[in-house]
Structure 1
C-alpha cells in the first residue's frame, strides 16, 4: 500500500500547509466517506461545511475559501484544488495490468507489420497487413488493428477496441474498452425503384491527433471520402458518436451520450454537454459550449453558450424557462 506524509504531499503540490497532522495518508477520498488515513478536497463553498464532520486527516483547499484546520488535521491551500486532486490521484494510481510476455503467443501479427520497440501486445490481438506500431504502444487482449493503420508512440488501446483499415492514430492516445475507430459512416439513399436503400461506399479514413482520449463504447466513423479528424488533445467520453467527415479542432470535450451527425465541424476548445446532438453540416466555432441535452440545428458563434432544443443563446433560453414557469402558476 502506498503511504505518504502531509509534507510529502505538500511538496508535490507546492501549496501552503496550514496546521499539521502526524497521520500517514494512504489515499484520497471524498469528504463524506473519508477515514482518518485519507486526504480530501474542498474546491467550493458548498463543501466547506462538510469539513467539520469529515474524518479526513487532511484536505486540499482552494486558497480563496475560508477553512480552518483542527487538532491533528491539516490543510494544504492551493490555487486550484481540482488540479491538485489530479496530481494526488496520479500519486496513488495503482499499476496497470501486468504483461507476462511483451507479445503474447496467441497474438496474430501479419508478417508485413512493423512493431516498434517496447510494444506490448496481449492475448488474441490481431494486427493486419502493413500496420505500423510506434514505440511503446500497448494493446491489451482482444484488440484488432486492420490493414495499413498507423499508431503513434506510447498509445494505449484497451480490450475489445477495433481500429479499421488505413486509420492514422497519433502519439500518447488512450482508447478505452470497445472503442470503434473507422467503421463505415451511415450513408444510404433510396434506390431508383423506391423499393430499397442503396449503401453509399465509405472510402475515407479516420485521423486522430496526439494525446486524444476516447471513452468506452464510443464510435468514430470513417469518412465517405477524405478523413474524419479528431484534433490534438480532444477528450471523448463513453458512448459518444462521431459521424463520417466530422472534424474536431484541438482540445474539444464531448460528454457521454452526445453525438455529431455527418460533416459537423468543431473549432478549438468546444465543449459538448452530455446527450447533446449536433445536426449534420453544422459548425460550432472555437470556445463555444453546448449545454447538456441540447439539440443544435445551426451554426454556433465562437465563445457562445447555447442551451435547449432547438439550442439557442443560454441566457435567452433560461428567460424562456422562467417565463413558462410563471405562466404555469397563473
Structure 2
C-alpha cells in the first residue's frame, strides 16, 4: 500500500504545512472527516462540516486559512487556497487515474492485423479493434469495447467497458466511461412530406487532451465539419452532444444535458443538469446556465442564465418571485 509523507503531499497538492514539524508524518490513505483515522488525510472546504473538522480523528487535513483556528489538537494542517483541488491532487497519489493493471491483450479480444497497439496497453476480453486503428502507449481498453476503423487514441487513455468509438481522434489522458458512444452519425435529415431524406454525416469527433466523458454519454460525428470537445472538458453521464457542436477548453457539462447541432461553447462554459440547448447558438467564455434551463438564444461571455426560456439569472429570479407573489394573491382572493 502507498505510504506518503506530508512533505511530499504538500508539494504535490500545492499546499503549505502549518507546522514543519509534521513534514515527515506518514499518510496511508485518504478519507472523509467523519471516517478518517490517525494515518488518513482529509479536507475541509465547506463550513457546514466545521464540527466534523473539530471532531475528526484524521492525522492530517487540508484546509483554507480561514478555518485553521478550528483545527483540533494533534491534527496536522495543510493550508490551501483551494482545499478541494489540493485534496484531488493528493488523492491521486494514492489512487492514480487510468492505471493499466495487467498489460497485454486478452485471448478473447479481436484485434485486426493492421491495427497498431503501443507498449504497455491492456486490452480486455471481448474488445474489438478494427483495421487501421491506432492506440497509444499505456492505454486501457475495457471488456466488449469497440474501436472502429481508423480511430486514433492517444497515450494514457482509459476506454471503459462496452464503449464504442468510431470516426474519432482521441487525445492523450482521456477517460471515457462505460457505455459511452462516440462518433456515430448525427441526427441529420431533410424533412419532406414524401419521406425524410438522410444527410450523410462525414465529419469526425475530435476529443482533445485531458477530457472526461461520463457513462452512456453520446457524442455524434460532424455532418460536414468536425464535432470538437476541447481540452480539459468534464462531461457527466447521460449527456447528448449533437453533430458539429464545438466545446472550448475546460467546459463542465452536467448529467442529462442535451446540446443540439452546430452550437458553439467558448472556454469554461458550465451547463447544469438537464439543460437543453437549441442548435446553431453561441455561448461565450465562462457562461453558466442553471439546471433544467432551456437555452434558445446566444449567451454572452461571463453571463449567468436560468429558466425556460433561459434569461439572465437575476431576471429569472424576479420572474420566479413574481409568480410566487401572484399565486399568493390568488389564494388570498379565493
TM-score normalised by L of structure 1:
0.89
- Distance in 2 separating the partners of 1:42 and 1:146: 44
Supply the RMSD in Å over aligned alpha carbons: 2.5
- Distance in 2 separating the partners of 1:321 and 1:18: 50
Q: Which residue of 2 aligns with 1:98?
A: 101
- Distance in 2 separating the partners of 1:150 and 1:23: 44
Out of 182-191 and 255-264, give the one that drifted further.
Answer: 182-191
Q: Which residue of 2 aligns with 1:186?
A: 187
Matched ranges for 1:277-296 at <5 A? 277-296=276-295
Matched ranges for 1:229-244 at <5 A? 229-244=228-243
Matched ranges for 1:18-57 at <5 A? 18=19, 25-57=27-59
**1:225 positional shift:** 1.8
- Distance in 2 separating the partners of 1:118 and 1:269: 33
Q: 1:20·1:74 contact (CA, 8 Å) conserved in 2?
A: no
- Distance in 2 separating the partners of 1:292 and 1:203: 33
Q: Which residue of 1 aligns with 2:332?
A: none
Q: 2:54·2:70 contact (CA, 8 Å) conserved in 1?
A: no
Q: Which residue of 1 aligns with 2:151?
A: 149
- Distance in 2 separating the partners of 1:32 and 1:249: 38
Matched ranges for 1:207-222 at <5 A? 207-222=206-221
**1:258 positional shift:** 0.9
- What is the CA deviation profile of residues 202-248 of structure 1, one whole-angstrom value per residue up to 9, with x for unaligned ones? 22221111222111111101122221111222111111110111111
Q: Does 1:257 align with 2:260?
A: no
Q: Which residue of 1 aligns with 2:115?
A: 113
**1:81 positional shift:** 0.6
**1:192 positional shift:** 4.0
**1:127 positional shift:** 1.3
**1:7 positional shift:** 5.1
SS in 2 for 1:39: strand
- Distance in 2 separating the partners of 1:288 and 1:304: 5
Match of 1:77 among 76, 79, 83: 79
Unaligned runs of 5+ in 2: 330-334
TM-score normalised by L of structure 2:
0.88
**1:316 positional shift:** 1.4
- Distance in 1 separating the partners of 2:310 and 2:291: 10
Q: How many positions carry a matched residue from both structures?
A: 326
**1:97 positional shift:** 6.1
Change (3 A) 1:207 1:94: closer
- Distance in 1 separating the partners of 2:193 and 2:9: 69
